[in-house]
């Protein structure tokens, strides 16, 4: 009887996972099929009688500003990832390995700042960027992205650095290593899982962000994918659902590649720093 209950429980778990997989993958499969389907109607895309065409992709790349939107978004996401990794790792290393006056107060201040919703600072951000002449610039947008993610990421990475034994630093110093050598040759290699997580998060954050680009960017040549696709939907192009499906599929490619390439580090990075040994 117990064996039967155990098998029934396992079967129920598998059934639950299969149902969830179907629910998640069905819209994705439908979108992929629609992007290769002739016509403009999304509901004409069925799982039977499938016909193949690349016309939507040719139109998207040749007759729309989609490529420019893609370049702008990729530049912002990549730049945010690189700058955030540089700033966060250095800041977390300083807070983790150095003692200085006011350190505890600064850490508590960072903790309090990250508790406030980002929406509360929208007016202040716009006024500040206006004073600095950074409205309608990628530099202004990157400034907001990096500074906005700095508090949480610093706490996260600092927790991971704290778990790395300081005895490794002391042994390296005995061998004549300097602070930069310790940072680059000891700390960073051991902190690879959390750095991968920070880099992935920093890349995905601006990839489809709509609010901040709408607030800061003004000119059409600097539009991102989120703004461009939204305006596309709001215009007459909203009737061409298959073309929109092709654009949505291309948007997902970089994120998918990053997740596949870094998946073994993501889980480790998520839980790292939560417990200090």
- Model confidence over 171-195: pLDDT tens digits? 888 888 888 888 888 888 888 888 9
The CATH number of 64-271 is which of 1.10.3720.10, 3.40.640.10, 1.10.10.10, 1.10.760.10?
Answer: 1.10.3720.10
* More confident: 110 or 124: 124
pLDDT tens sequence across 113-159:
777 776 777 888 889 899 999 999 999 999 999 988 888 888 889 98
- pLDDT-derived band at 274 (thresholds 50, 70, 90) equals very low
What sign results for the dihedral spanned by CA atoms 186, 188, 189, 192? positive
**pLDDT higher than threshold 50 for residue 277:** no
pLDDT of residue 11 exceeding 60, the answer is yes
* Domain extent listing, the chain: 2-56, 64-271
Cβ distance 61 to 67 under 8 Å?
yes
Give the CA count within 13 Å in the CB-facing half-sphere of 27: 4
């Amino acid at each position: 009887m117990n064996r039967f209950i155990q098998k029934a429980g396992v079967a129920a778990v598998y059934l639950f996972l299969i149902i969830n997989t179907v629910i998640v993958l069905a819209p994705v499969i439908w979108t992929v099929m629609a992007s290769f389907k002739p016509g403009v109607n999304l509901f004409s895309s069925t799982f039977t009688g499938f016909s193949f065409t690349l016309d939507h992709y040719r139109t998207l790349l040749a007759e729309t500003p989609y490529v420019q939107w893609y370049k702008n978004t990729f530049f912002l996401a990549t730049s945010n990832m690189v700058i955030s990794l540089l700033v966060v790792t250095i800041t977390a290393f300083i807070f983790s390995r150095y003692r200085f006056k006011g350190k505890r107060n600064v850490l508590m201040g960072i903790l309090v700042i990250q508790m406030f919703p980002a929406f509360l600072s929208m007016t202040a951000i716009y006024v500040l960027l206006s004073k600095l002449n950074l409205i309608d610039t990628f530099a202004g947008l990157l400034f907001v992205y990096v500074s906005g993610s700095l508090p949480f990421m610093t706490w996260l990475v600092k927790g991971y650095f704290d778990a790395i034994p300081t005895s490794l630093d002391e042994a390296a110093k005995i061998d004549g290593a300097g602070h930069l050598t310790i940072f680059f040759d000891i700390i960073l290699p051991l902190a690879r899982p959390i750095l991968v997580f920070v880099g992935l998060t920093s890349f995905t954050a601006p990839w489809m962000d709509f609010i901040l680009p709408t607030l800061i960017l003004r000119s059409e040549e600097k539009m991102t994918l989120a703004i461009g696709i939204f305006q596309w939907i709001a215009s007459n192009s909203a009737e061409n659902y298959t073309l929109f499906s092709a654009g949505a599929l291309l948007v997902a490619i970089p994120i998918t590649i990053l997740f596949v390439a870094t998946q073994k580090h993501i889980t480790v990075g998520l839980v790292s720093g939560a417990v200090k040994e």
